[in-house]
Amino acid sequence: MTTLSPEDTHFLQIVIRMSLEARQAGKHPFAAIVVDASGVLLAQAINDALPPDGDPTRHAELIAAGRATHAAAREQLADATLYTSAEPCAMCAGAIYWCGIGRVVYALSETRLLTLTGNHPENPTLALPCRDVFARGQRRIAVAGPALEDDAAAAHHGFWSAPR
């Protein structure tokens, strides 16, 4: 587990709370926000992977990262942090890279998430840490996590095993 600053803990608690609200709204329990270096919220999103409104590419991190590019200049994004309730998958890590966001803080590790979702057809979690994706990029992205994993896991308990 990563020890977080009080500010990082605060923002991670916000996305964990949002992930629970996503579940309550009938969505998958994932959420992400992007915050600039001075703590200003640039973008937020919950998972929207379910039809008919959403599609499987609409992960919270991907949506939030894209929205952040409309809210801030590239230099500001380089100093921004994306907080997410679960470690970004390979697709979202790619989006974070392409959007130029400089730092990621996540709660649940992808390994822990995989134990929660199993091979659920709506979320067949990849076993590929975001650090491995970022390591192949041309610029450095700082990563902190996992942290507050038990809090983040609570939003998933019973969700992936429940009949739809």
CB of 115 to Zn ion, least distance (A): 17
Sort strands 81-86 and 41-46 into parallel, antiparallel or unpaired: unpaired
Give the C-alpha separation, 17 to 13, whole Å: 6
Q: Annotated catalytic sites, by residue?
A: 61
**Residue 89 interacts with Zn ion (CB under 5 A): yes or no:** yes
Contact region for Zn ion (CB under 5 A) — 56-64, 72-80, 137-145, 153-161? Answer: 56-64
Name residue 143's beta-bridge partners: 104
Q: Using CB under 5 A, which of 59, 67, 103, 112 touches Zn ion?
A: 59
Q: Which two tokens stand for residue 49?
A: 């992977």
**40: which DSSP letter?**
-
CB of 86 to Zn ion, least distance (A): 8
Contact region for Zn ion (CB under 5 A) — 12-20, 37-45, 91-99, 119-127? Answer: 91-99
Place of tokens 């491995």: 132
Closer residue to Zn ion in complex, CB, 76/143: 143
Four-CA torsion 82, 88, 90, 95, nearest 10 degrees:
-20
Give the C-alpha separation, 64 to 82, whole Å: 8
Closer residue to Zn ion in complex, CB, 80/92: 92
- Residues lying near Zn ion in the complex (CB under 5 A) are found at 59, 89, 91-92
